[in-house]
């Protein structure tokens, strides 16, 4: 069942079209991310769902309730929407203890004290903060403060959780750890999450589905694996993960296979359903290239970079410089002449000159 449905949502600020006809659905129990570069409109979409912005066009449903319709003049106020929110600056109140911060939304509702205490215990347990409930935010780490904000959002038992870059103030190590915590929390509570981030590693790691946005529009929706392995266009291919782009030429097609020539005359069969012909751009992931002394395409190692779990090379081949990532056991020297093989490639339209 759909928990959030956004239909042809647009938002204009003066002449700026910040969101351009966005349509998407978040299913129950789903972790759904909006991913895209800075300024592409992610937060604006989330703020419309939260009722913090009024859409210029389109409709928003939370569960079965239509909370926005520009055509019918519906705009349900934020406090009446069944949502929990956490933003980048997580805004926990410094003068209140963890206990007071988390209980605050229920105190506002004037619930009986015993009920507040029971729900508070549950919420603190969910985020693992039971033992710190008497501390003030200044006595907590960044990750712990983030969990206070999450508990405060969860205590109202919202139908959906809206999160806008909630991990970006944390250091890299904690951010990585919190990814697992968030995903685990979502699995335990079953609450659907609409998550905004510009960090593709974060979105790939946590999401069931994600929508990639560019310049106000959604360019692709899919599972992390679909988006990584079959990017819809060059923008997505470039934005998600590392990608080498080299010019090529399509020589022939046979069903859904194209034979492409690239890297100074090398030929490769590529699965490709597009109707491209002639000049094209061949896109290759660094892990889809292998290096060996006998590889068919001659190359030279320019830079070798140790990354712990793998080795990251820059190699020069047929006039291009390519990123290649190999197992940490495949050690070649800078300046070494060897060969490379391309296992898998994707084809896109050539760059406009």
Ligand X SMILES: Nc1ncnc2c1ncn2[C@@H]1O[C@H](COP(=O)(O)OP(=O)(O)OP(=O)(O)O)[C@@H](O)[C@H]1O
| List of residues contacting ligand X (CB under 6 A) | 13, 16, 18, 36, 38-44, 198
Is 136 in contact with 127 (CB distance < 8 Å)? no
Say if residues 346 and 272 touch (Cβ distance below 8 Å).
Answer: yes
Q: Is 43 in the site for Mg ion (CB under 5 A)?
A: yes
Nearer to ligand X, 10 or 70 (CB): 10
- Specify the residue, 43 or 200, whose C-beta has the smaller distance to Mg ion: 43
Q: Provide the mask over 3-42, with x wherever binding to Mg ion is found by CB under 5 A and - wherever it is not.
A: ----------------------------------------
Q: Please choose, from the candidates 242, 239, 228, the residue with its C-alpha nearest in 3D space to the C-alpha of residue 38.
A: 239
- Residues with Cβ within 8 Å of 2's Cβ and at least 6 positions away in sequence, in order, are 25, 26, 27, 28, 61
18 binds, among Mg ion, ligand X, none (CB under 5 to 8 A by kind): ligand X
Asked whether position 70 contacts Mg ion by CB under 5 A, the answer is no
13 interface partner picked from ligand X, Mg ion, none, CB below 5 to 8 A per type: ligand X
CB 198 → ligand X: shortest distance, Å?
Answer: 4
C-alpha 322/C-alpha 139 separation (Å) is 48
Q: Minimal distance in Å, beta carbon 165 to ligand X?
A: 7
Supply the DSSP string of 91-130, one letter for each residue: ---TTS-HHHHHHHHHHHTT--HHHHHHHHHHHHHHHT-G
Q: Is 44 in the site for Mg ion (CB under 5 A)?
A: no
Least distance in angstroms from the C-beta of 149 to ligand X = 18
Nearer to Mg ion by Cβ, of 48 and 129: the residue is 48
| Nearest residue (CB) to Mg ion, 10 versus 43 | 43
Whether 292 and 331 have beta carbons less than 8 Å apart is answered as: no
- Parallel/antiparallel/unpaired status of strands 193-197 and 31-35: parallel
For Mg ion (CB under 5 A), the number of binding residues is: 1
- Parallel, antiparallel, or unpaired for β 57-62 and 2-13? antiparallel
Q: With respect to ligand X, which residue has the nearer C-beta, 70 or 197?
A: 197
Shortest separation between residue 13's beta carbon and ligand X, angstroms: 3
C-beta of residue 350 within 8 angstroms of C-beta of residue 281 = yes
Residue 46 CB, nearest distance to Mg ion (Å)? 8
Binding site for Mg ion (CB under 5 A): 43
């Amino acid at each position: 069942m759909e928990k959030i449905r956004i239909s042809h949502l647009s938002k204009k600020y003066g002449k700026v079209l910040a969101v351009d006809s966005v349509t998407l659905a978040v299913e129950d129990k789903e972790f759904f991310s909006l991913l895209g570069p800075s300024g592409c409109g992610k937060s604006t979409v989330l703020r419309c769902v939260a009722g913090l912005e009024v859409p210029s066009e389109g409709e928003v449903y939370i569960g079965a309730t239509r909370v926005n319709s520009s055509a019918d003049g519906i705009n349900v106020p934020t406090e009446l929407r069944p949502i929990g929110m956490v933003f980048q600056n997580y805004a926990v109140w410094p003068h209140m203890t963890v206990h007071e911060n988390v209980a605050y939304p229920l105190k506002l509702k004037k619930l009986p004290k015993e009920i507040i205490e029971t729900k508070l215990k549950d919420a603190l347990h969910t985020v693992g903060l039971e033992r710190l409930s008497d501390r003030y935010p200044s006595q907590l780490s960044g990750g712990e403060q983030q969990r206070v904000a999450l508990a405060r959002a969860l205590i109202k038992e919202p139908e959906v959780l809206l999160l806008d870059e909630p991990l970006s103030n944390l250091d890299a190590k904690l951010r990585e750890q919190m990814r697992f915590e968030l995903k685990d929390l979502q699995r335990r509570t079953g609450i659907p999450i609409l998550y905004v981030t510009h960090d593709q590693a974060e979105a790939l790691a946590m999401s069931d589905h994600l929508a990639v946005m560019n310049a106000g529009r959604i360019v692709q929706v899919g599972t992390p694996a679909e988006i990584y392995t079959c990017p819809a266009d060059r923008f997505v291919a470039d934005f998600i993960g590392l990608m080498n782009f080299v010019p090529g030429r399509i020589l022939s097609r046979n069903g859904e296979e194209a034979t492409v020539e690239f890297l100074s005359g090398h030929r490769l069969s590529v699965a490709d359903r597009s109707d491209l012909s002639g000049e094209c751009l061949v896109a290759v992931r660094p892990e889809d290239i292998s290096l060996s002394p006998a590889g068919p395409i001659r190359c030279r190692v320019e830079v070798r970079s140790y990354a712990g779990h793998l080795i990251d090379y820059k190699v020069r081949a047929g006039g291009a410089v390519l990123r290649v990532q190999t197992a940490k056991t495949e050690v070649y020297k800078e300046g070494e002449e060897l060969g490379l093989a391309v296992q898998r490639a994707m084809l896109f339209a050539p760059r406009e000159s």
